[in-house]
Structure 1
Amino acid sequence: MATIEECRAALDRLAANLAAADGDLKAAAALDRSLSCRITDLDITFVGRLTGGRIEDVTTVPGAPADKAQIRLTTKGDDLVAMVGGELNFARAWGSGRVKVQANLRDVLRLRSLL
């Protein structure tokens, strides 16, 4: 089971990948949305903001956050680490229920290209 530190490192790696993106990937990351990533097996949620192709102001809260983010991911820690590391395909994980995404359809389609 992935630790909180490993999950945070995966989110930091995703943020770095977004910041370095160019072309179509940069356009896909150019959202301005509140973001949460709930890690079910650790019972924590990372909350922050996806803006200008970066993930900013990430904090960790126990359990589910009080406010619902515009883009909400729910997964296990190992799956988050594997997706960001390129070992788990986002579309397959989403289709099989290993990751749940709550967002408008356009945002979901953009996210698919980022992970």
Structure 2
Amino acid sequence: MATMEECRGALDKLSDDLARTDGKVHTAAGLDRSLSCHITDLDLTFTGRLVDGRIVVADTVQGPPPQKAQIALAMAGDDLVALVEGELNFARAWGSGRVRLEAGFRDLLRLRSLL
């Protein structure tokens, strides 16, 4: 099971990867939205924003997200690490229920190039 530090490191790596993108992917990453990532097996949530192509984590709280974010993810810590390392396909994980993503329809359309 991934630790809190490993999950935070995976989010930081994902943020760095998003910041280096270009074209359509950079446009999608350029959203300014509140973001939460609930790590189900650790029962903790990273909260923050996706802004200017970066994930900015503002807080880590025990339990589920304290408030609804515009983009909300939920998954096991190992799945987060595997996704960021390219070992787990997002579409398959989402389709099988291993990863949950909640976002508005427009955001989903823009995020699809990231997924």
In structure 1, what is the Cα distance between the partners aligned to 2:85 and 2:47?
A: 20
Could you tell me which runs of 5 or more consecutive residues in structure 1 were left unpaired when the two chains were aligned.
none
Q: Letter of the aligned partner of 2:42 in structure 1? A: L
Aligned-pair identity in percent equals 67
Could you tell me which runs of 5 or more consecutive residues in structure 2 were left unpaired when the two chains were aligned.
none
Q: Letter of the aligned partner of 1:97 in structure 2? A: G
Answer yes or no: is the 8 Å Cα contact 1:91–1:112 preserved in 2.
Answer: no
Shift of 1:58: 3.1
Aligned-residue Cα RMSD (Å) equals 1.2
Query: 1:99 maps to which residue?
Result: 99
Shift of 1:26: 0.4
Shift of 1:94: 0.3
Query: 1:42 maps to which residue?
Result: 42
Answer yes or no: is the 8 Å Cα contact 1:94–1:100 preserved in 2.
Answer: yes
Q: Structure 2 length as normaliser, TM-score?
A: 0.93
Q: Structure 1 length as normaliser, TM-score?
A: 0.93
Matched length: 115
Cα 1:38–1:104 shift into 2, 3 Å? same
